[in-house]
Amino acid sequence: MPELPDISLYITALEARIGGAALTGIRRKNPFLLRTAAPPIGDADGRKVAAVRRIGKRIAIGLDGDYWLILHLMIAGRLHWKDEVGANIPGGKNGLAAFDFTSGTLTLTEAGSKRRASLHFEQGADALAAHDPAGLEIESAGLKDFAAALSAENHTLKRSLTDPRLFSGIGNAYSDEILHRAGLSPIAMSQKLDALEIERLFAATQATLAEWSRRLADEAGDGFPEKITAFRPEMAVHGKFEKPCPVCGTSVQRIRYASNETNYCPRCQTGGKLLADRALSRLLKKDWPRSIEELEMQKGSAP
């Protein structure tokens, strides 16, 4: 799922391309993309773009008259830009919609068979605010506000960082990178951290998001971002199961749950302990390794 650095990159690219341009029409290949009925989507036609904003992990395009197109890309939604006015919606099942502006065409695609990406059309500040989970904006937050948000509920650090009601724009990928940089376990409880650990986590959160925002902006340059992905070779642990940790060389481990997984370094983050992967530890039972050393012994004795 595109997260804060990715969405911010989209915002910058869109501001340069559609700011001040008029929306001439919306073509939808999938009728279920639009999740609102009032105001009618046709009311957007002919209105100029007055603003482009990030709301958590959503992209909000403001039109004259305080109208808003709100896009939530979910996991597999991606945006594409063509300077050609009226460019075709990408072919195949992935193409969902095209937004025609006087400056070009913005298209929306979604990989996979599930259609989770959504478009809402709203009018007014209150309607727009209803889409904001109101999590803390890390870039402008201070340590005191961060500590208050973190300790508001007692959850694992992984869950707290990815809760949009607590922190804005952080998802599965960057939470892994933040926790690795901070040297903290993803299952440590948020209300159990001491002051120094909270300060370390705050610094890691700000640094990770700022670093990746700069990195992605440099990569895209003046072009429209077409390489939005949660798995990047430069990442330390996310998507790096069994790859060496760039800090200590220990094999990165994972915890899998539902359709997500958490990646971590057991030496840097958990004191050498392996966290139980629910499905795998149930299968292996007593054979589940509890430490790096046990894991290495198992690997060494494998045929």
Check whether the bond before 39 is cis (ω within 30° of 0).
yes
By percentage, how much of the chain surpasses pLDDT 70? 90
Residue 150: its H or E element: helix 143-150
SS3 label, residue 241: coil
Position of tokens 């605010």? 129
Which one, of 132, 123, 107, lies nearest residue 14 by Cα? 107
Report the alpha-carbon angle 172-158-213, nearest 5. 45
pLDDT higher than 90, residue 117:
yes
pLDDT higher than 60, residue 295:
no
Residues with Cβ within 8 Å of residue 221, at least 6 apart in sequence: none
pLDDT higher than 50, residue 284:
no
Segment 253-263 mean pLDDT: 84
Q: How confident is the model at residue 287 (pLDDT cuts 50, 70, 90)?
A: very low
Q: How confident is the model at residue 294 (pLDDT cuts 50, 70, 90)?
A: low
Segment 26-35 mean pLDDT: 94
- Structural contact between residues 170 and 3, judged by C-beta atoms closer than 8 angstroms: yes
Q: Which residues pair with 34 in a beta bridge?
A: 119
Segment 130-149 mean pLDDT: 96
At residue 260, the pLDDT reads 78
| Six-digit token string for 208 | 């990770």
At residue 97, the pLDDT reads 97
pLDDT higher than 80, residue 290:
no
pLDDT higher than 70, residue 168:
yes
Domain parsing of the chain, residue ranges: 4-129, 138-220
Superfamily of domain 4-129: MutM-like, N-terminal (3.20.190.10)
Q: Which residues pair with 71 in a beta bridge?
A: 59, 119
pLDDT higher than 60, residue 99:
yes
| Six-digit token string for 116 | 């989770």
Q: What is the mean pLDDT of the chain?
A: 91
At residue 201, the pLDDT reads 98
pLDDT tens digit string along 231-246? 999 999 999 999 999 9
Q: How confident is the model at residue 257 (pLDDT cuts 50, 70, 90)?
A: confident
At residue 113, the pLDDT reads 79
Torsion sign, CA atoms 182, 184, 187, 191: negative
CATH 1.10.8.50 fits 138-220, yes or no: yes
Torsion sign, CA atoms 96, 59, 129, 146: positive
At residue 302, the pLDDT reads 45
Give the Å distances, CA to CA, from 234 to 38, 105, 211, 254.
Answer: 44, 32, 12, 18
